[in-house]
Amino acid sequence: MKDNVELICTIGELSELFREKSDVRGFLNRVVTTVSSHMKADVCSIYLYDEYLERLILEATQGLNPSLVGKLIMGTHEGLVGLALKELRPILEKNGQDNPRFKAVPGSGEEKFQAFLAVPILQGFSRIGVLVLQHHQHDYFNRNDMMALKAIASQLAATLENAKLLMGVTQEKSEEKSDESPVSMIRGQGVVEGIGIGRAYVISPDRFDSFLGEECPAEARNAGLGEFRHALSRTEEQLQALETEMDEQLSDVGSLIFSTHLLMLRDSSFTGKIEANIQEGMSAWEAVTERVESFLKIFSRSENARLREKVQDLQDLGHRLLRNLAGEEQDTGDYSGQIVVARELLPSELVKITAQHVEGLVLYSQGASAHISILAKSLGVPLLYTDDKDLFSLVSGTMLILDAFQGTLMTNPGPEAMEQFRRLRDDRAVSRDQEESMEETTRTLDGERVYLRATINLISDIKTAVRLKAEGIGLYRSEFPFLIRSSFPGEEEQYLVYKKIFDGMDSDVITLRTLDIGGDKILSYLPDSEEENPFLGLRALRFLLQNKKIFVGQLKAMLRAGQGRPFRIMFPLVSSLDDFREARRMVDKSVEFLKRDGYDCDTIPELGVMIELPSAVVMASDLAKEADFISVGSNDLVQYLLGVDRTNEKVSGLYEARHPAVLRTISLIQEAAARENCPLSICGNMAFDPEMVYFLVGAGVRNLSMPPVQIPRIQSFIKKIDINRAREDSRRLLGMNSLEEIHSFLETAVNRI
Ligand code: PEP
Ligand code: MG
C-alpha cells in the first residue's frame, strides 16, 4: 500500500528544506530516495530539461547507475523520457521495453526493470524536466500511481525550476574561477508576480547613509554655477514631465506627487544656498551634496512624521541633481534598470518609484503592509517580501534577478541565468493566449453562470478590467487617494476620482467601498492614529462612524458621481446590525444635504455589508434581511476568524483559507444570503485561488471579485468545472474537519480538472 498523501506532504517538507538551505544536489537526491521508497519503486530518477540545447540530463537517481548523473543526456526525440516531455503527457508502460520509443542506455543497469512510469514536470508554460519510476515487476504501476506521481511533479515544479537555475548558475561560476562576488539566493514571498532584472538600489534602513558616499565623477569635477543652473533646469523639466505623465496615468493617486521635489527646487534655503556656496568657491557637486545632507539631517530627525516622510524625496532629488550635473543623458526614469531594496516604503514612495520605471521591489517583511502589496499589484511592479536579513548586506549596484513568481532574489547571476530569466519573463508575457481566448461571460462546463467582477484599487485598473471583460466592479477600494495624499482629499477631489470610475466602466454593478483605513493602512496626516492593536482598533467603518464629517464628505462625492446610473455602496468591517443601520442613516443624511445644496439626487444606491468579522457572520441572516447585498472580505474574514494577523510573516503559515472553520463559515453566510434572497459576492484573495474557487462555486457562490489580471485564468478554470461534481465535492469538504484532509482533497480535485 502506497501512502500518496503522506508522500506529497513529505515532498512539501523537502521543498521547504530546499528553500532554507539551497543545497541542490542534496535536495534532488532526497527527493528520489523519498519518492522511490514511498512508491515502493526500484528506480526513481529526475531528468532536468536544458531548453537551450533542448536536451534532458539525468540529475539524480535512486536505482540506476549513479555514475551517469550529469552525464546521461538525451534529446526530447529520444526514449520514453523524451516522449513524456515532448508530448507533455505521462507515459505508463507495463514493460517499457515493449514500447518502440524505448531507448536502452548501456551501463545504466535498467535492463532488469520492466514497469515504467514517467511524468513531465511543468511550471506554467515552462518545461522543467521529467520524473521517472521503474520496477522489475511487469505491470507494477497503475493509474493511481500515475495520478500520485503527477501530483508530486506539480508539487516539485516550482522548487525544481529554482534548483535548475541555481545549478546553471553554480556550474557557470565554477567554470569561471572568478574572483567576483558569489552568487547567492535570498528567499521570500512573491507578493506581486513578475520578473525583474537589474541593479540593486538599496534604500538604507536609516534612510540617511545612502546619499553619502556618492563619488564625484570626472565629468563633474569642474562644474560651477553655469553647470549647476543647467542641471537645475533639466531636473525641473524632468520632474514636470513625470508629473504630467502621472496626471494622465494615475490621476487618483499620482497628481502632485512630485510637488515636494519641485517646491524644494524653488526654495531659496535649498537652491539659493547651493548657489551661494558655489559663488564662495565650492564645487557644484560639493555644494549640492552639502545641502542635501544638511536637509536630510533635519528631516530625518524631525518629530514631525510628514517631514520624515520627505527623506526619500530629498534623496531622489539629490541624486537627480547630481546625475544631471554629471551630464548623464538619461531619460527621466531614475529607477529604470534598478531593483529597489528597502526595509519599508511609504505608499507615496512606491508610486514615485514606480513612476520612475523601477524594475522591481524587494522589501523586508517586517515593513510589509497590505496596502503596499495592493498598490504594487495595481501598479504592476514585481514585489518580493523577505525576512532574510542578508538583504541588508546587499550593496547598491549589485546585479539582481528578482523572481516574484517563485519568491527568489538571485544576486550576482551569471550571463546564462540572466538570459534564461529574460526568456522566462517573455514567456510569462505570452500567457496572453489565455486572454485572447476569453469569452464575454463565464459559465461552468454545464452552463451555470458565474460573474467575475473586478477589484479596483487605482483608476488605472479600470482599463485592464474592461479589456479582460470584467462584468462590473465588485470592489473599489477607495482608500488609495487618501493614503497617497498629505491631507484628506476634499469632496470635490473625491468626486472627480469616482466620476472617472463611472466613466470608465459601463456596467450596472459598480460597487464603491467607503474608506477602509486603520489596521495597517495608516494616514500619517491623521493625528493620534497610532494604536497598540491597529487591526482591532479604529478601522474602516468604525473610523467613519467616529468621523462623520469625513464619512458624509465621501458619501456625497460617491452619490454625486453615481447619479443617473445604478450603483452600490458597501461598508467594510461591519460588526452589527446597528453599524449597518447607522451607516445607512449617514447615506440618507448625505442625500438630504445634497438636495439641500441644489443637487439632483434621485438615484439611491444599493447598500451592502462586508462580512469580515466573526460577529457579522453570526448576524449574517439579520444583515442579509436589511442589506441590499453582502460581500465577504475574505482576507479579513480569515484573519479575524483564525486570529492570525494577515500581515505577519511569522504566522503566515497559519493564515489558511482552507481551514475547515473558514469553509464552514462561508457556507453559513451563503445559506443565510440565499434564505434572505440577498445577493452574495466574495472578494479578497480567496476569490482567485482556483482551489477555493472550486469550493465556492460548488457551495453556491456565483459572484467573485478579483484583480482584473486574474480574470482570464479564473474564467478558463471555471469553464472546466462540472457543477454537479463541484456541489458534491463542496458538500464533502464541509464534512471534513482537518486542514490536511481538505488540502489534499482540493488539490486532487483541482488537478483532475
Ligand atoms: C478583504 O478583507 O478581503 C478585502 C477585500 O478588503 P481589504 O483587503 O481591502 O481589507
Ligand atoms: Mg477587508
Closest C-alpha residue for ligand 1 atom 6? 633
Q: How far is the CA of 638 from the centre of ligand 2 (A)?
A: 10
Residue 370 pLDDT: 65
The reply to whether ligand 1 has any atom less than 6 angstroms from the CB of 683 is yes
**Model confidence over 209-264: pLDDT tens digits?**
455 556 777 777 888 899 999 999 988 888 888 778 777 777 777 666 677 788 88
Taking the C-alpha atoms of residue 252 and residue 495, their distance in angstroms, rounded to an integer, is 11
Q: Which residues contact 361 (CB under 8 A, 6 or more apart)?
A: 196, 339, 340, 341, 342, 345, 350, 353, 376, 381, 382, 383, 384
Taking the C-alpha atoms of residue 684 and residue 474, their distance in angstroms, rounded to an integer, is 10
> What Rg do the C-alpha atoms of the chain give, in angstroms?
29
DSSP state letter for 336: B
Q: How far is the CA of 514 from the centre of ligand 2 (A)?
A: 11
The reply to whether ligand 1 has any atom less than 6 angstroms from the CB of 633 is yes
In contact, 515 and 554? CB cutoff 8 Å: yes
Distance of CA 462 to the CA centre of its chain: 18
Specify burial of residue 460 (Cβ count, 10 A radius: 0-12, 13-18, 19+): buried
Cα distances (Å, whole numbers) of residue 710 to 359, 674, 703: 21, 27, 14
Note residues around ion ligand 2 (Cβ under 5 angstroms). 633, 636
Cα distances (Å, whole numbers) of residue 547 to 56, 517, 554: 64, 12, 11
Q: Which residues contact 536 (CB under 8 A, 6 or more apart)?
A: none
**Model confidence over 278-310: pLDDT tens digits?**
999 999 999 999 898 888 888 777 777 667 767
The reply to whether ligand 1 has any atom less than 6 angstroms from the CB of 707 is no
Q: In ligand 1, which atom is closest to the CA atom of 634?
A: 3
Query: At CA 530, angle to CA 528 and CA 531, rounded to 5?
Result: 120
In contact, 456 and 475? CB cutoff 8 Å: yes
Q: Pick the closest to residue 308 from 265, 344, 339 (CA basis).
A: 344
Residue 9 pLDDT: 63
Question: Which ligand minimizes its atom distance to the CA of 369?
Answer: 1
Q: How far is the CA of 635 from the centre of ligand 1 (A)?
A: 5
Q: In ligand 1, which atom is closest to the CA atom of 631?
A: 5
Q: How far is the CA of 543 from the centre of ligand 2 (A)?
A: 14
Residue 337 pLDDT: 84
The reply to whether ligand 1 has any atom less than 6 angstroms from the CB of 339 is no
Q: In ligand 1, which atom is closest to the CA atom of 685?
A: 3
Count of alpha carbons within 13 angstroms of residue 124, beta-carbon side: 19
Which H/E stretch holds residue 57? strand 55-62
Residue 333 pLDDT: 47
The reply to whether ligand 1 has any atom less than 6 angstroms from the CB of 477 is yes
Long-range pairs, 255-259, Cβ under 8 A, ≥24: 257/348, 257/351, 257/352, 257/355, 257/484, 258/352
- Terminal alpha carbon distance of the chain: 26
In contact, 695 and 746? CB cutoff 8 Å: yes
The reply to whether ligand 1 has any atom less than 6 angstroms from the CB of 635 is yes
Closest C-alpha residue for ligand 1 atom 4? 633
528: left (phi over 0), alpha (psi -120 to 50) or beta: left
Taking the C-alpha atoms of residue 539 and residue 523, their distance in angstroms, rounded to an integer, is 11
The residues of the chain scoring below 70 in pLDDT are 1-9, 12, 15-23, 52-53, 124-125, 165-183, 204-214, 254-257, 305-306, 309, 328-333, 366-371, 426-433
The reply to whether ligand 1 has any atom less than 6 angstroms from the CB of 252 is no
The reply to whether ligand 1 has any atom less than 6 angstroms from the CB of 471 is no
Q: How far is the CA of 632 from the centre of ligand 2 (A)?
A: 9
Taking the C-alpha atoms of residue 39 and residue 24, their distance in angstroms, rounded to an integer, is 22
* Three-class secondary structure of residue 367 per DSSP: helix
Q: Pick the closest to residue 616 from 660, 566, 669 (CA basis).
A: 669
